Structure 1
Amino acid sequence: MGLIRLLYQNKSVILFCLFTYVLFWLTIGTFKQSTELNKTQQSNGLKHRSNSTFYFIFDHLLQLKVNLLLIDPYVLNYLFIEQLSFDKLERQLITFAITDDLVERFIQYFQETIFSITISENILSNHKTSIDHIFIEYKQKIIHLAILHKYKSFYLIEENILPLSENIQLSYGDTLRAVEPVEVNVHEYSFFYPQNVSHFLWLYQTSKFLHCNRVLADEMEDQFHLYQNASQLNLTVTPMKNIAYGLNELEKHYWLAGGTLLGWYRHCGLIPFTQDADFGLFAEEYDESIRNYFLGNPIAYLWGALGLVNDSLEFRLYTGRFTLDLFWAYREGDHRWCGYQVHRAKFRRTLPLLETLCSCDLFGTRFSIPCSPTSYLDGEYGKDKWKSPLEKNYTWINMKFHSLWNDISWMYAVRLYTRQGKLRTDQFAFDWISNHFNYSITSIPSFFNILPNEPVTLPPLKTKLVYGSPIKKKKSRKKSKSTRKKRLI
């Protein structure tokens, strides 16, 4: 009874404490709710505040909770190479990429806003509509959304067919372009950008995309019964991908060359009976990183190096069952040339300048190719002669005998390597190089593709040089034989 009487006498104090307690927790709850709301608003909006028109458009775009990837080459260079402020960017249009599964959400949202929205779309072969570009305009500023269409292991951005103002030059949408998947970072404006901006810009240089000739490929099968060889593809696909990956990582331009380019264009794959794969590279881009990448490479290792860095350099890669050749093309006047060695003789194949390279799909992977593949093939095989399989004893029309390696240069123009990437010095190397040197060598020079600074003592000749001046006629016959293809191409 004493406790009840005590509580009754202090009921006012107790009620006040209870009220204070409830009010305290209501305040805490409200604060938490407000904090969560602010976090949500921050995640849905921009981290950085600005009065720019682009900021205003961004703020609305991000309400959709979609990932905007900045791919505009000019803006990427401005922000991350030149390290300039976004707020000071004087640009009418900025290009971002979004995946095609987000398109409908964008269209539904912006139909009921203050923005002007324009859509570029194509009619597909199945009569369905493909939306490829969205232009969102507000106060003369435009956010361009280029739609990423999944294509094999990469994406395609289609050409824009919508008329635009003359002062607008698109970086994506100007033509069909390929985009590789990239690792990304988040900008303070809450959009994404490539983690390695300089590499993304380097890949952009060759992003124009070309399709193979599907009509010719079907003709190869229907008329000539030339089908893709499954066992050959198993030997070829992985090492070719490895080469493309390595050269891209090293930022060395390359292109599919010779019969490999012909296989892509004419067969949309490989020539079924080809026995090797050819790649071309720019000689001026050579450095030791390329050799180091392929020495001991577990997929396609450097088996042999022929020529010198500044003359006719060729790498022969080997998988254990398949050969792949890297030819360096040297610029000379209005053309390029790459070397081809047959014993002591140097042959040269004339090539176009190839000032720009493009992209293609082969085996579901993006490879680089000449931007005018038909002109390239015309120069190698003869105008339009490559459009059908050619007979045996074909002669390259762009290959000519140039000169002989002199004694000293030829000593340093051949190297063989083990699968582990070590200079080969076994009996096989002695025999193979002796045959090509026409020398009885007892040691392998340690220099790589360069001439030594000190005088060199030549080993004794095995026999008279095969390509010496007393046998010019024989040299001519050798030339003809060396430039023939023993198989159909």
Structure 2
Amino acid sequence: MQRINKNVVLAILTAASSLFLLFQLYYFKYYIAGKNGPGLSNLKGILSLQETMQWRAVKKFTSLVNSYKVPVFVVDSVLLKIIAKDLERLKSTPYVLSECRYFCEHRDVTTFGLQDSLWESKENFLRAAERMGFQWQKYDGRDPRIEGIEDLSGTKIPLHYIFKMAAHTIHLVLFYERSGNYLWHGPLRLRQKMDKKFVPFRKLQFGRYAGAYNRPELILVTADQFKIWIPKDPSLFLQEIPHSKFLECRYKEARAFFQLYPDDYSVEAIEFRMQAKRLLHLAVVTLKSLGINFWLSSGTCLGWYRQCNIIPYSKDVDLGIFAHDYTPDIVPAFEKAGLHLKHKFGKVEDSLELSFIEENHVKLDIFFFYEEEKYMWNGGTQAKSGKKFKYLFPKFTLCWTEFEEIKIQVPCETLQYLEANYGKNWDVPVKDWDWKSSPPNVQPNGMWPVDEFYDVIQIY
């Protein structure tokens, strides 16, 4: 029997394999695509299994959430940046057929958000996810909405879900409504017994810290052949992400503080706190209407951090504003809101300070902060002499918190901020406080020229 040439056999098998592959491509393009519409056949990203992994996982996930009417929305910053550029086209064109633009690029993670109160049939949803081929893990955390100085319940709520299909990860961040009319999500924390190799956690960028967001208005668009909810203004949501870090009030430490220094429940203290809370709400509404960034400063910041409350003997409300955010509209806006300008010290470029008073004689002090190369500072002025003072702070960034049922900002580096202003013993109450000499960060800053007194020392 004639011996078969191995090279000939190999060539025949190679040719047969190539013909079979070409037949599959032809069949897929002209039969499958024709049967199912122009979807996959027109997608630019259908080049390899690896490149379509994200598209397939997201397709199944959105199919699942749509069938269970779970209104997840895109919070993925990478996707939102692309979507923001194409927003008008997405709103006007139901299908983008020429290319797979959003979900076919190779990315390991796609991140969605969901308001927890809108998620019904949670257990049924999770079982359906398993049947679809998803593996998932849940990440719990303490529920801050039911905690207080009197109740450190430690009740757990789900904060994050991770869904995995093949090599792609779907990160679902749960948002909760807080009393300040905003949405909050908790931090993503791995517990000791959790599988740390379940997904590449270092690539989950959204939600590493607790965050606070304005409630976004959502719109439904169609991208890469399936419908997704997105923030109506993706650019605005993207601006919030890097500044969303949230700090919870320290109820455990506040309880310990009040065990050492019992709270003041006198009629005068209760009345002042009510008035100060009302004044703080008014200040927040007024400054937000002007688009001005601000934060709790001085004694009001100390009260939040030390005792989760307004200090009853402080007799005022203190806010900080960066000097570059000053606008002449501040004074008329507060006067329109019912406050009267008590004094204006300094000038915009140097030691500016505004003080307002309301009808119940509770004072609102606004300190303007200036940034130098190595530190920040705000100024003070002694009206009688024209002496200037300077209060130095280490550089700080701003985080959100909830205080007196308000979403408001505080210095992220709160401890360093307070130690600069009140020293290492900031946690010990001091009722006799001299603003010119008591703060450890105060230093002389010269004198205002006499010919400028009229402009820099205005008392009403």
Both proteins in one fold, TM over 0.5: yes
Mapping for residues 74-89 of structure 1, pairs under 5 Å: 74-80=78-84, 86-87=102-103
Query: Aligned residue for 1:109?
Result: 128
1:214 equivalent in alignment to 2:251:
yes
- 1:381, distance to aligned residue in structure 2 (A): 1.0
Q: CA-to-partner distance for each residue in 1:23-80, whole Å, 9 max, x for gaps? A: xxxxxxxxxxxxxxxxxxxxxxx9xx97733334322221111211323334333322
Q: Which moved more, 1:76-85 or 1:143-152?
A: 76-85
Mapping for residues 162-241 of structure 1, pairs under 5 Å: 162=190, 163=196, 165-166=199-200, 168-189=202-223, 190-227=227-264, 229-241=269-281
Mapping for residues 388-427 of structure 1, pairs under 5 Å: 388-390=428-430, 392-393=432-433, 395-415=438-458
Distance (whole Å) between structure 2 residues aligned to residue 123 and residue 411 of structure 1? 55
1:263 equivalent in alignment to 2:303:
yes
Cα gap change, 1:409 to 1:175, in 2 (>3 Å): same
Correspondence for 1:118 among 105, 115, 137? 137
C-alpha contact (below 8 Å) 1:242/1:299 kept by paired residues:
no
- 1:291, distance to aligned residue in structure 2 (A): 4.8
- 1:323, distance to aligned residue in structure 2 (A): 1.3
Correspondence for 1:349 among 380, 387, 391? 391
Query: Aligned residue for 1:438?
Result: none
Which amino acid in structure 2 is aligned with residue 412 of structure 1?
A: D
- 1:121, distance to aligned residue in structure 2 (A): 2.8
What TM-score does the superposition give when structure 2 sets the normalisation length?
Answer: 0.71
Distance (whole Å) between structure 1 residues aligned to residue 156 and residue 140 of structure 2? 7
Q: CA-to-partner distance for each residue in 1:113-152, whole Å, 9 max, x for gaps? A: 1223232234777686532211223343322111123332
Query: Aligned residue for 1:312?
Result: 351
- 1:155, distance to aligned residue in structure 2 (A): 3.3
Query: Aligned residue for 2:13?
Result: none
C-alpha contact (below 8 Å) 1:97/1:145 kept by paired residues:
yes
Correspondence for 2:110 among 94, 103, 106? 94
Which amino acid in structure 1 is aligned with residue 208 of structure 2?
A: D
Query: Aligned residue for 1:387?
Result: 427
Q: CA-to-partner distance for each residue in 1:332-364, whole Å, 9 max, x for gaps? A: 12001101111111111111211x211111112
Query: Aligned residue for 1:368?
Result: 409
Q: Which moved more, 1:175-184 or 1:360-369?
A: 175-184
Correspondence for 2:167 among 115, 122, 140? 140
Query: Aligned residue for 1:42?
Result: none
Query: Aligned residue for 1:283?
Result: 323
Moved over 6 A (4+): none
Query: Aligned residue for 2:24?
Result: none
Query: Aligned residue for 1:150?
Result: 177
- 1:289, distance to aligned residue in structure 2 (A): 5.0
Query: Aligned residue for 2:23?
Result: none
Q: CA-to-partner distance for each residue in 1:67-105, whole Å, 9 max, x for gaps? A: 113233343333226869535655332222213342434
C-alpha contact (below 8 Å) 2:116/2:176 kept by paired residues:
yes
In structure 2, runs of 5+ residues without a counterpart are: 1-38, 47-54, 90-100, 144-151, 191-195
Distance (whole Å) between structure 1 residues aligned to residue 67 and residue 235 of structure 2? 30
Distance (whole Å) between structure 1 residues aligned to residue 228 and residue 239 of structure 2? 21
In structure 1, runs of 5+ residues without a counterpart are: 1-45, 416-431, 434-489
C-alpha contact (below 8 Å) 2:251/2:308 kept by paired residues:
yes
Identity among equivalent pairs (%): 23
- 1:259, distance to aligned residue in structure 2 (A): 0.5
SS of 1:226's partner is coil
Cα gap change, 1:237 to 1:169, in 2 (>3 Å): farther
Which amino acid in structure 1 is aligned with residue 420 of structure 2?
A: G
Q: Number of matched residues?
A: 367
SS of 2:421's partner is helix
Query: Aligned residue for 1:458?
Result: none
Correspondence for 1:298 among 318, 334, 337? 337
Query: Aligned residue for 1:378?
Result: 419
